[in-house]
Chain A
Amino acid sequence: MQLIPCPWCGPREEAEFHYGGQAHVAYPSDPSALSDEEWAQYVFFRDNPSGPFAERWSHSAGCRRWFNAVRDTRTHDLLAVYRVGEPMPEVAS
């Protein structure tokens, strides 16, 4: 089973984690000003790159903390993990 390195607990089995979708999707600063189309873009539309992808993960069976990870969607390799609030590190794609 793949190991995912939790920034707090270290490498643990993938089964301990919960996937949280794309990272760094900012909440609109003025939601009421958005058109229906813009709101739908915010709620439903996500990137789907072939290559490095910044995602949110939760160590749900461990420390229960959310963190961010850069995963290569072609190989399922985790290129980097970083804590919430930290900037996305540079990764070689």
Chain B
Amino acid sequence: MTAELVSPLAAWTSRLPSTVSERPFLSQLTVRSSDTAAMGSVLGVAFPSRPCTFTEGSGRFGDVSVLWLGPDEYLVVAEPGLQVPIEEGLRACKGSVVDTSAQRTTLVLEGPHVRDVLAHGCSVDLHPAAAPVGTCVQTLLARTGIILQVTGADTFTLLVRSSFAEYLAAWLCDASVEYGLLGETPVTGRPQGHR
């Protein structure tokens, strides 16, 4: 029997700031390879050639992002449920492919105050001149390790480890208070009932 999937932030759906939403269960595969051209042609998206960037494209696995994590290390992100076919598709290429979908959940942040909120706990310069669309950095946000993608003019995607997700959600709520982004429900303590 397969257990029902419960996202790490299921209890937080109604409590997150209005500008934050979770995209749970995305397929994520950690790829280590020096033969990225072949992998790119399988996925239909060229792998990033410069550090701290990501690329997007569309192919036989739908919309796929490839995030630079290290000189020979990448994270392939696709829609939920595609980890097995992608892993099998990449198996023909040289390198290692590991399904890490359960390791992280994804948060999408948007709105005019998104840089202000992130600046409360992230030291990376996120000004559009320093971090244009297409930037992908691994850093600390409020002492939590994150992968941060600049996906639009005022849109950011955060990948955070599942076990840190609730802490980060609480921190985001707190950092968003002064911008009036929280709903009427005060955030007091940890939500109960879902875990």
Interface set of A (CB-CB < 8 Å, partner B): 1, 8-10, 12-13, 15-16, 61-65
Contacts and interface: CB of A to CB of B under 8 A. Distances in A.
Given A61-B140, A62-B139, A8 B70 contact: yes
Closest 4 CB pairs of A and B: A13-B123, A63-B70, A62-B138, A8-B51
B124 A12 contact: yes
B139 to A, nearest CB: 6
A63 B52 CA distance: 9
Interface in B55-83: 69-71, 73
Given A9-B51, A9-B138, A65-B71, 10 more contacts: A8-B52, A8-B70, A8-B71, A9-B137, A12-B124, A16-B139, A61-B138, A61-B145, A63-B69, A63-B138
A91 B81 CA distance: 53
Contacts of A1: 123
Contacts of A63: 51, 69-71, 73, 138
How many B residues are at the interface, by size bracket? 10 to 19
Of A10, A16, A62, which is in contact with the most chain B CB atoms at under 10 Å from its CB? A62
Given A1-B123, A12-B123, A12-B124, A61 B52 contact: no
Contacts of B137: 9, 62
Interface in B92-125: 123-124
A8 B69 CA distance: 10
A15 B140 contact: yes
Contacts of A12: 123-124, 139
B74 to A, nearest CB: 12
B22 to A, nearest CB: 23
A1 B124 CA distance: 12
Nearest to A8: B51
28 contacts: A1-B123, A8-B51, A8-B70, A8-B71, A9-B52, A9-B137, A10-B52, A12-B123, A12-B124, A12-B139, A13-B140, A15-B140, A16-B139, A16-B140, A61-B138, A61-B139, A61-B140, A61-B145, A62-B137, A62-B138, A62-B139, A63-B51, A63-B69, A63-B70, A63-B71, A63-B73, A65-B70, A65-B71
Contacts of B73: 63
Contacts of A13: 123, 140
Contacts of B69: 63
Contacts of B124: 12
Nearest to B138: A62
A17 B73 CA distance: 19
Nearest to B137: A9
Nearest to A62: B138
